[in-house]
Amino acid sequence: MLFGKPPSYAAVRTFGCLCYTHKSGVSNKFDSRSRRCVFVGYPFGKKGWHVYDLETKEFVVTRDVVFCENEFPFKQVRGSKPRHGSPTLISEHNYTDTTDQNAVTSGESAPGLSASASSESAPDYGAGASGDSAPSHDVGESGESAPGYSVGASGENAPESSAGASGQNVPELSAGASGQDVPGHSAPASDLIGRGQRSRKPPAHLQDYICYTAFCDPSKAHPTTIDSSGSLYPIAQYLNYNKFSVAHRIFLAAVTAGREPHHFGEAIKDANWRNAMQSEIDALERNETWTIEDLPPTKTAIGCKWVYRIKYHSDGSIERYKARLVVLGNRQVEGIDYTETFAPVAKMVSVRTFLAVAIAKGWELHQMDVHNAFLHGDLNEEVYMRLPPGFNSSQPGKVCRLRKSLYGLRQAPRMWFSKLSAALQSYGFVQSKADYSLFSYTKGDVFLAILVYVDDLVIAGNNSEALKRFKQYLSSTFHMKDLGALKYFLGIEITRGSEGLFLCQRKYILDILAESGLLGAKPAAFPIEQNHQLLTATGPLLDEPERYRRIVGRLIYLTITRPELCYSVHVLAQFMKAPLQAHYDAAIRVLRYLKGNPGQGVVLLADSDLRLYAYCDSDWASCPLTRRSLTGYFVMLGRSPISWKTKKQHTVSRSSAEAEYRSMATTACELTWLKSLLQFLGVSHTQPMKLFCDSQAAIHIASNPVFHERTKHIEVDCHYVRDIIRAGHIITSHVRTTEQLADIFTKALGKRQFHYLLSKLGIRDLHAPT
């Protein structure tokens, strides 16, 4: 009207859409030239657009913007918010989280579940076992753990609930959510009257998630998810379940579908976890774990938190939702709140050796769990704890005085283990001197062995009746949960077949990839660059070093079943204090390597000869900062890998022969310990153990006191290898460097050599697509 022509709408953009702005001042030609932002409006008095930077969390005004108006980083799925109004034992509003607050409320009676709480401190994930749909998150930006979506069976046979949402058995056809179609599988036309013939595809927001876990009908082929995913590298291309039985596929589906809350605010939205917390409190009250008292002026009450786990039966059904109240023992004061704290737990080398011997001898393997194990220990010290999160009472200022041991206390593991070991020894078990968490029972032809990891017990034996009687004895002594055949232990998936035992951490890897936003990333062929310069790298420090530390910490635990990662993790773990961008990029590369083979693991063969073989190697002066060498060894029991390590040597070696000699001494100590462990398990190792080394000079030094001028400075403990060689316990043998299996533990190898040695380590990928 004013200017005689219609106004221009060229500058009008969709609010909240994704956009990219120009990044100025880039010094490196390989750095990104743009910043990822969200369009939030128009500035007053300026020409440009007002955007929100997703990396720096700042609002900026810029003129150089490229808009993607079909993508919305903060978009939420409709109906994703939790439902309110339903009766709950623990409310979702205004709860008091005693983990982070100093305020303490209590009452004379035992604390009851709170009726009110703060939704602000509880993030809305909404994808727990309650069945609510989860919001669609941009995982690549947030770095938070993404909810695991799964696709259920189609048509009338669709299950009413997912395996992760109830305690029922896994559905017959799928472990996914209900009411959705499996891509690539359409029902016959006669069964779908009134429906089109086109194949159904999941929505776009599922493109980077695991939309298929296990198809339990062996007569049907696996659905292809290439067409159902917008990613060039969908995770389903690297996972396959055809090599597993139908029953084990059901178990894997249940384990993958189950989602455990990370904090109290997330758990209170689900009735299953509310009931689990109430059951835990009831058990604590029945056991008279605490009394409600006033806090003395000279004492400080420590906090507590909830930890959540799903326990499964061997058939894949959910045994129970387990909520555990854990005391923040890191706030205890030594000498006042506790004195002695040591309690043995099973070493991972002992676990693998135990399983290797059991499968080689054809023993039965069972698993049991102790319910509220730490409550069996008595507490002698005066310790006060704040009320559990979600609980309050009428009288403020009250706290819980602990009368019995509780999870998280520094002294709790010691008290529980002493009571458990006393019960085992009264039954007739003998404690091992090689690993104090290992016990054995021998009576005539009956042999039983038990491995203890806090409250998780792995039991093996050659007699079914004796094994059954012993389990009944444990159930009468403690409150036990019989989990049946060993299938899932400490996050390790265990598959037993005619060939042997297969150990992998598939679900653990998928969780890491989902948390890091790399489910759709391009895989890497090997974990670390061959000529990396990470030790001498320079650049700015990471803004969020905690994220790097979390990735490396999870990778350390992953080396339990992935020995090829030892060298990479050893390198990355040296920068935990002040990581740089180059170090973070290297950690991401390791995750991209895992993306290519998430189901890879070690195989413990049933036809093993139970003889020890070891490979040792060193990388002389590999550290450019300290010039110290690197030791690596790999030990096999027959053809089953049981022990491996990468470690920097304590002192500088003057020659490569000296570095190899020190590596031989370290490996000899490991072999001696493993031999005593095998003897306790009933394996008499009468033949000499074989030690392979690729250094002729080191072998000569170990066999004879030669090269005096070059070896007179070496510490006395390194000459231990000479004594056991002279005693005939170990024989040395030379091996070519190209055949040295320990070479993968001391240096970064190229793609061809890396995969060649990997094929000889007893590592397989049974989940690899055929």
User: Alpha helix (H) ranges present in 681-767?
Assistant: 696-703, 708-711, 720-726, 751-758
> Cα–Cα distance between 99 and 408 in angstroms, integer?
13
Does 710 score more than 80 pLDDT?
no
pLDDT of residue 540: 85
Q: Name the nearest CA neighbour of 483 among 606, 336, 374, 369.
A: 369
pLDDT in tens, 253-265: 777 777 788 888 8
Residue corresponding to tokens 């990355």: 572
User: Measuring CA to CA, how many Å separate 457 from each of 420, 424, 429, 474?
Assistant: 11, 12, 14, 11
Q: Return the structure tokens found at 11.
A: 């500058």
Q: How much of the chain exceeds pLDDT 90, in percent?
A: 38
Stated pTM of the model: 0.65
Is residue 19's pLDDT more than 70?
yes
Question: Which whole number is the average pLDDT over 18-33?
Answer: 84
Local confidence band at 395 (pLDDT 50, 70, 90 cut-offs): low
Element (H, E) at 400: strand 398-404
pLDDT band, very low/low/confident/very high, at 53 (cuts 50, 70, 90): very high
pLDDT tens across 474-486, in order? 999 998 888 889 9
Query: Which residues face 36 on adjacent strands?
Result: 20
Model pLDDT, residue 142: 36
- Segment 165-184 shows an average pLDDT of 36
Residue 79 three-state SS: coil
- Which residue do the tokens 């100093």 mark? 102
- The one-character DSSP state at 19 is E
- Tokens 């605490």 identify what position? 290
Statement: residue 185 has pLDDT above 70: no
Distance, CA of 470 to CA of 480 (rounded, Å): 12
Residue 187 token pair: 């029902």
Q: What is the mean pLDDT of residues 32-61?
A: 90
What is the model's pLDDT at position 341?
A: 77
Better-predicted residue by pLDDT, 128 or 557: 557
Q: What is the pLDDT of residue 249?
A: 76
pLDDT at residue 108, as a whole number: 39
Q: What is the DSSP string of 196-233?
A: -SSPP---GGGTTS--------TTSPPPP-STT-SSSS
For 2, 176, 345, 631, the CA distances from 261, given in Å and listed in that order, are 60, 18, 26, 40
Quote the mean pLDDT of the chain: 78
* Higher-scoring residue by pLDDT: 712, 402: 402
Residue 436 has a pLDDT of 93
Which strands make up the sheet holding 378-385, listed edge to edge? 290-294, 398-404, 378-385
Which tokens go with 169? Answer: 């058995």
633-689 pLDDT, tens digit per residue, is 999 999 999 999 999 999 999 899 999 999 999 999 999 999 999 999 999 888 999
Q: What is the pLDDT of residue 434?
A: 93
Average pLDDT of 39-60?
89
Confidence of residue 133 (pLDDT cuts 50, 70, 90): very low
Q: What is the pLDDT of residues 287-297, one digit of tens each?
A: 788 888 888 88
Taking 90 as the threshold, does the pLDDT of residue 407 lie above it? Answer: no
Q: How far apart are CA 474 and CA 543, in angstroms?
A: 51
pLDDT grade, residue 111 (50/70/90)?
very low
In angstroms and rounded to an integer, the radius of gyration of the C-alpha atoms of the chain is: 29
CA distances from 649 to 525, 643, 653 (A): 29, 18, 9
